[in-house]
Amino acid sequence: MAVDLIFLPLIAVLGACAGSVVNVLVWRIPVMLAQPHNRDFNLCLPRSHCPQCKTPVAWYYNVPLAGWLLLKGCTACCQQPLARRYVLTELGLAMLSLLLACLLSSEVLLAAGVLFSALLVGLLLTDLEHMLLPDMLTQPLLWCGLLLALSGAGPVSLESAVVGAVTGYLVLWLLYWVVLLVRNKEGMGHGDFKLLAALGAWCGWHMLPSVLLGAALLTLACMLAARIIHQRSLQEAIPFGPGLAVSGWLAWLFAIHQSLVW
Ligand SMILES: [Zn+2]
């Protein structure tokens, strides 16, 4: 266990704060990419406001989880229901942080794990909502993975992390070109190459086959579920990023288990 039991509430609060930051990133980054010349819209501006009537939100309603409870799931100004995704993201990251605190053995790994989880949740949600894996999230994920390996505190060596990053990128880049040449259509987006490169840096090259197999099986299961529940066509495009994110998160924990750092 990375911390004493007494610190677990603090870990949960930090996890919920990470979830709140993820909510901001998932909402603002796609808008920033769609309006590259709009200098009035960035990660901080305009201040958070009601989506219906544009009234600025008081600071205490932005406190993770507590804000939702105070508002009872509706906006204070015009009583419109708030999307449940916001509170679920904060709650989910609080729970993941607690789980990591129980599983991991050092504070450095715990901090890295919370950051890894937050960036992966951000990428998962952005890809689900916008079919987009922004560089603003995949690049920090890659660099943080390489820095963790450089520090020696992670589960893989720097050599394995660098080879993992290069191999992860090249494998999906090659697959993309094979699909494009054979079927004359794009099988995936460039963000998928970058996400697998980042996962290679965090998990090492030896985990890449497992990450890819897990991601493919998860994506296939989601396609079949969408077909059965929502009658969606199997030909319809489905994002690959969420499968990669979930599979990569599990592979990182397994890589730590293998390296006996628990
Ligand atoms: Zn309002």
Alpha carbon of 63 to ligand 1 centroid (Å) = 18
- 73 lies in the same domain as 162: no
Do 162 and 217 fall into the same domain? yes
Digitized pLDDT (tens) for each residue of the chain, 262 residues in all: 777 888 999 999 999 999 999 999 999 999 999 999 998 899 988 888 887 888 888 889 889 999 999 988 898 888 888 889 999 999 999 999 999 999 998 999 999 999 999 999 999 999 999 999 999 999 999 999 999 999 999 999 999 999 999 999 999 999 999 999 998 888 888 999 999 999 999 999 999 999 999 999 999 999 999 888 888 777 778 899 999 999 999 999 999 998 864 4
Q: Are 90 and 146 part of one and the same domain?
A: no
Ligand 1 center to 81 CA (angstroms): 10
| Domain membership flag for residue 127 | no
In a domain, 125, yes or no: no
Residue in the block written with tokens 């309006």? 35
Q: Which residues contact 16 (CB under 8 A, 6 or more apart)?
A: 64, 65, 90, 91, 93, 94
**What is the span of the domain harbouring residue 163?**
107-114+132-262
10 and 87 together in one domain: yes
d(CA 245, CA 154): 18
The domain boundary, picked from 84, 103, 122, lies at: 103
In a domain, 178, yes or no: yes
Cα 62 to middle of ligand 1, angstroms: 15
Q: Would you say residue 214 lies in a domain?
A: yes
Are 18 and 99 in the same domain? yes
Centre of ligand 1 to C-alpha 39, Å, is 24
Would 89 be classed as within a structural domain?
yes
Ligand 1: centre distance to CA 59 (Å): 15
Same domain for 140 and 57? no
162 and 71, same structural domain? no
